[in-house]
Amino acid sequence: MPRVEIPVQTITRLSVSPGSQITADATNDHYISGNDGRIFVEIISTAVATESVTFETPFSLDDLALEDQVIYVGPSATRYAGPFPTSTFNQTGVGDENKLFIDPSVSTTLKFRAYKV
């Protein structure tokens, strides 16, 4: 199955209401379309243990791959991650350009919302 999209809310001076939470899908993973380097992700945990979320980095230099960014979220905690520079985090595969790939460690106990400024 394809990755599940996380929609992005644009924050303006006039404000914005929080978007719907997207439940983590650790089987299919997630993506955010149109990463322009101004994206932030809200990660909400309802778990009783620490969970992790991986932001993939396809970047490499001289055949050395840059490590993926891993964010740890404690029990019942909320974390904010970003921004994600395009040259480091945007995917390069055909059809995946300008996408930010997000891989949760578990399903159901993590929720996501994405914002752009």
Q: What is the pLDDT of residues 55-92, one digit of tens each?
A: 999 988 899 999 999 999 999 999 999 999 999 999 99
- Residue pair 46/76 in contact by the 8 Å Cβ criterion: yes
- Residue pair 9/113 in contact by the 8 Å Cβ criterion: yes
pLDDT tens profile 11-29: 999 999 998 999 999 999 9
- How far apart are alpha carbons 85 and 105 in whole angstroms? 23
How many residues comprise the chain? Answer: 117
Instruction: Give residue limits of the domains in the chain.
Output: 4-116
- How far apart are alpha carbons 22 and 110 in whole angstroms? 9
- How far apart are alpha carbons 8 and 47 in whole angstroms? 24
Paired residues of 23 in beta bridges: 111
- Model pTM? 0.93
Does pLDDT of 45 surpass 90?
Answer: yes
- How far apart are alpha carbons 97 and 50 in whole angstroms? 31
Whether the CA torsion 109, 27, 56, 113 is positive or negative: it is negative
Does pLDDT of 41 surpass 80?
Answer: yes
Fold of 4-116: Hypothetical Protein Tm1070; Chain: A (2.60.290)
Model confidence at 1, pLDDT cuts 50, 70, 90, reads confident
- Residue pair 17/115 in contact by the 8 Å Cβ criterion: no
The closest of 73, 115, 114, 97 to 89, measured between CA atoms, is 97
